[in-house]
Structure 1
Amino acid sequence: MHAYATNKKRKTIIIILLFIGMTLSYIDKASINVAIIPIQKELQLNSLESGFVLSIFFFSYAFMHLLGGWLTDKYGSRKVLVLSILAFSLFTTFTSFAWSFASLLLFRFLFGIGEGSVFPASIRSISDNFPENERGRASSFFLSAQTFGGAIGSVTIGVLVVSLGWRSMFVSIGIIGVLVAWAFWVYLKSPADAQINNAKQNQKKVSYKKVFKTNNFWKLFFTKFFSNIVNWGMISWMPSYLVNKGLDLLSVSALMSIPYLASFLMFNVNGWILDKYMSGREKYLAVAGSISSGVFLYMMFNATSVTLGIIYMTFNAISIAFIGTSLYTMVIKYSPKELTGSVTGLVSFGGQIAGGISPVVIGFVLTLFKGSYNAASWFLITAALAGAIASITIKNKVKETKEDVLIEHSF
């Protein structure tokens, strides 16, 4: 018998806190994509070095998704969330002290270690507190925080960098993070936590081997991997791409908020669609998102104007939203409850490895082809189509009667 949060006010507090935490996490994570433009000039970095700076975070971040998922299942989401938010906020502040390429790499690597546990701990908190028929909407609202953070962050970070400089920008958002960590510690605790912890101790343990052996696990893993190749390739290099088109930094920051806002709306619409109409057929949103992403990427890189390019970029962002909501809804709804954090961490691990690979590959391609984005565009398009192939092979869910069904029978 699972102990969900039954009080509506309590569930509202939980999901709003998780939304705020993920929003801040995404702002901190994406801030380097705008800041890299003045950093590149001040520290005299070339495109390949900038690519490493954009990528290094993802490797430590990916590792902590694995460890963070395990820590969450062992110690509970509240403790892990507080420590993680506090850690990544401090390392964000440390980034302001970077004086060289090597020091910048070190601080970004440490930042990834600090932030990596936030996502699996948040997903576990949703699984603990929301019944299955509410998890599509809850997870989609939580996931939409990434795009909300991107929307407000792209504008805010651009303004802070121009007005205060990139060093003061990192200090400012780091201080905000410490305050958010305090809020999590104070407001996330409730009497229900004791019931949830007792329920976890009584649940049947499921071996990690049964996670790795399931065919659908690897299909979800690679769908997430290829979608993040596209997502983080776009997020990391689009500000520089638009600046190369002749736009100033503030204009780029404002334009980048448009795809984020569209994705924010689509994430929440997707949650309603998944819960009401797509139960057991969630994979079709991922398939549609992967194919349409490839189409809109091609159109964007061949657009005849900046306006058309932003329109196609927005539709590409919406396509990626289809993928994210469907994948994590499947994980939350149907994976064993006692391993939700671990399963989430493992699937996200694939996505974050892709996030580390994509920016540096694009940086290498740009260096190799003397700044031309043509080859980079085909790299992203190929990844989108590979994601479509991975997602179409996912087996549809056949709902079981027992809640503690093993993962290999869950999809």
Structure 2
Amino acid sequence: MKAYATDKKRKTIIIILLFIVATISFIDKAAINVAIIPIQKDLQLNSFESGLILSVFFISYALMHPLGGWLTDKYGSRKILILSILGFSVFTAFTSFAWSFASLFLFRFLFGIGEGGIFPASIRSISENFPEKERGRATSFYLSAQTFGGALGSVIIGALVVSLGWRWMFVSIGIIGVLIAWVVWVYLKYPVDIQINNEKQSQKKVSYKKVFKTRNFWKIFCAKFFSNIVSWGIVSWMPSYWVSKGLDLVSASALMAIPYLTSFLMFNVSGWILDKYMAGREKYLTVAGSIFSAVFLYLMFNATSVSLGIVYMTLNAISIAFIGTSLYTMVIKYSAKELTGSVTGLVSFGGQISGGISPAVIGFVLTVFNGSYNAASWFLIAAALTGAFTSLTIKNNVIDTTENELKEHSL
């Protein structure tokens, strides 16, 4: 039998610490999206080079997800979590030393490596400490941290860039990350660590081949890929888009907080819906979220005013919140427990690949079309619709009979 953290206070501490870690990690990764505006001027970057800077983090971040998942399954979530927090915090601070396109490109690549273990370690931690009936809510609360971090970061980063400059902004948030790593080291101590370690020792080694053979894995992988094409395209380029519409940097970054805060609430609502009403039918929230995302993207890019555009961007963010919660809830609920970190890392790898592709493609399109966002909007809409079709093919709560030892837990 699997042992879980049964003490409510202990589970509350665990999920709050994971929430804080996810918040600061998202602030760190999103800071460049606001800072790229003055960086572009200081380092004399064109739109394509700026797109590459926004994308390179996702390349190394994506590459580290499968390795981070494997390391989490091998050494435990707490160790990998602390090492990852220290890694991304140090390289966030290093970003302040960039003096050219090449140096900034290198620092952002290293930053992605540092942060790569955060997500699989956190999801594994939820799987270790929460029973299945609570995982939808725990997962959605954890995932909502990215929107909370986005809202907080949109306001704070814009203010820090204006008041301190982009270099000192990166130093400041890097120091905060190191302090959070210390807090996690002190307080994130699971009462079931001994049972978990003993269970790991008794488990048979499971290869990646069994992950790839698990039913629904590739469909969830692709659904996450197309969902993140949209989400990271929006996160990376919308501050610049609103500035192109006549807003100043502080106003544009502050407006980005509105959809983040709204989707923060909806992440948690979606978790409650999944646990209470959608058990075994999670894919339908993913399909609906993808279709609505395409509709709101079209309306956003064709809005007649900035305020109306923000409304549609907010509705798009809500749609994406349902997609992310549903996909990772399926991973946690239906994948083999001994593969949770590995499956999460590989699915998230698919999502981060798109984070490497989307900003660069949009930057290239903007360069080719002289700054026009029309072609970029259709690129994002097409990705959302493809994600809807992919999600529709997912089998609800399918038991994989191809591997006897994974019968009870396969996707």
- TM-score higher than 0.5: yes
Taking the aligned partners of 1:3 and 1:409, their CA distance within structure 2 comes to 16
Q: How many residues align?
A: 408
Q: Compute the displacement of 1:308 (Å).
A: 0.7
Q: Is contact 2:336-2:408 (8 Å) kept? A: no
Deviations 1:45-99 (A, max 9, x none): 0000000000000010001101000000000000000000001000000000000
Q: Compute the displacement of 1:151 (Å).
A: 0.4
Taking the aligned partners of 2:244 and 2:408, their CA distance within structure 1 comes to 48
- Counterpart in 2 of 1:308? 308
Q: Is contact 2:5-2:191 (8 Å) kept? A: no
Taking the aligned partners of 1:12 and 1:169, their CA distance within structure 2 comes to 31
Q: Is contact 2:399-2:408 (8 Å) kept? A: no
Taking the aligned partners of 1:3 and 1:328, their CA distance within structure 2 comes to 21
- Counterpart in 2 of 1:345? 345
Letter in 2 for 1:376: A
- Counterpart in 2 of 1:389? 389
- Counterpart in 2 of 1:80? 80
Q: Compute the displacement of 1:406 (Å).
A: 1.8
- Normalization by structure 2: what TM-score? 0.97
- Counterpart in 1 of 2:245? 245
Q: Compute the displacement of 1:407 (Å).
A: 6.8
Taking the aligned partners of 2:206 and 2:282, their CA distance within structure 1 comes to 24
Q: Compute the displacement of 1:205 (Å).
A: 3.8
- Counterpart in 1 of 2:39? 39
- Once the two structures are superposed, the pairs formed by residues 3-402 of structure 1 within 5 Å of their partners are 3-398=3-398
Change in CA separation of 1:186 and 1:409 when aligned onto 2, cut-off 3 Å: closer
Letter in 1 for 2:393: T
Q: Is contact 1:334-1:407 (8 Å) kept? A: no
Taking the aligned partners of 1:359 and 1:98, their CA distance within structure 2 comes to 20
Counterpart secondary structure, 2:304:
coil
Q: Compute the displacement of 1:202 (Å).
A: 2.2
Q: Is contact 1:210-1:407 (8 Å) kept? A: no
Counterpart secondary structure, 1:45:
coil
Counterpart secondary structure, 2:256:
helix
Q: Compute the displacement of 1:214 (Å).
A: 2.9
Change in CA separation of 1:398 and 1:212 when aligned onto 2, cut-off 3 Å: closer
RMSD: 1.3
Q: Compute the displacement of 1:394 (Å).
A: 0.1
Q: Is contact 1:91-1:110 (8 Å) kept? A: yes
Taking the aligned partners of 2:294 and 2:210, their CA distance within structure 1 comes to 33
Q: Is contact 2:81-2:122 (8 Å) kept? A: yes
Taking the aligned partners of 1:357 and 1:131, their CA distance within structure 2 comes to 36
Q: Compute the displacement of 1:405 (Å).
A: 6.5
Change in CA separation of 1:275 and 1:204 when aligned onto 2, cut-off 3 Å: farther
Taking the aligned partners of 2:311 and 2:351, their CA distance within structure 1 comes to 25
Letter in 1 for 2:171: V
Taking the aligned partners of 2:409 and 2:157, their CA distance within structure 1 comes to 45
Q: Compute the displacement of 1:410 (Å).
A: 3.0
Taking the aligned partners of 1:49 and 1:398, their CA distance within structure 2 comes to 44
Structure 1: gaps spanning 5 or more residues: none
Taking the aligned partners of 1:135 and 1:210, their CA distance within structure 2 comes to 23
Structure 2: gaps spanning 5 or more residues: none
Letter in 1 for 2:197: N
Stretch deviating more after TM superposition (210-219 or 24-33): 210-219
Counterpart secondary structure, 2:297:
helix
Q: Compute the displacement of 1:174 (Å).
A: 0.3
- Counterpart in 1 of 2:2? 2
Counterpart secondary structure, 1:85:
helix
Change in CA separation of 1:408 and 1:133 when aligned onto 2, cut-off 3 Å: closer
Letter in 1 for 2:53: V
Taking the aligned partners of 1:300 and 1:148, their CA distance within structure 2 comes to 22
Q: Compute the displacement of 1:206 (Å).
A: 3.1
Letter in 2 for 1:277: Y
Taking the aligned partners of 1:349 and 1:321, their CA distance within structure 2 comes to 18
Letter in 2 for 1:94: F
Counterpart secondary structure, 1:278:
coil
Q: Is contact 1:32-1:54 (8 Å) kept? A: yes
- Normalization by structure 1: what TM-score? 0.97
Q: Is contact 1:211-1:408 (8 Å) kept? A: no
Taking the aligned partners of 2:362 and 2:408, their CA distance within structure 1 comes to 36
Q: Is contact 1:4-1:196 (8 Å) kept? A: no
Taking the aligned partners of 1:159 and 1:198, their CA distance within structure 2 comes to 49
Deviations 1:345-375 (A, max 9, x none): 0000000000000000000000001111000
Counterpart secondary structure, 1:99:
coil
Letter in 2 for 1:24: I
Letter in 2 for 1:351: G
Q: Compute the displacement of 1:197 (Å).
A: 1.3
Taking the aligned partners of 1:76 and 1:166, their CA distance within structure 2 comes to 36
